[in-house]
Amino acid sequence: MSPYGTPTVEEVSALRAYAAGHGRTWKAQLLQDWMTGRSTGELQRVRNNLGPTWLIRFKFTHPAI
């Protein structure tokens, strides 16, 4: 995590991959995964560092390359 409470490049990549695999309700599904302990790696690091409230407000600001 950067010192400003934003995700790292790796964390954004993990979020993009998750979103691509779960469609338009990806945030709700990820929140459920977080609450039931089904996420790992970068996605779990995002939860631990930034939290569920952060995810609700999160938007991808740049298109995937």
Q: Is 30 exposed, middle or buried (0-12, 13-18, 19+ CB in 10 A)?
A: buried
Q: Is 6 exposed, middle or buried (0-12, 13-18, 19+ CB in 10 A)?
A: middle
Using a cut of 0.95, tell me whether the model's pTM lies above it: no
Taking the domains of the chain in order of start, what are their residue ranges? 9-57
CA angle, 36 then 58 then 27, to 5°: 35
Q: Which two tokens stand for residue 59?
A: 């938007």
Give the pLDDT of the chain (65 residues) as one tens digit per residue. Answer: 444 578 999 999 999 999 999 999 999 999 999 999 999 999 999 999 999 999 999 999 876 65
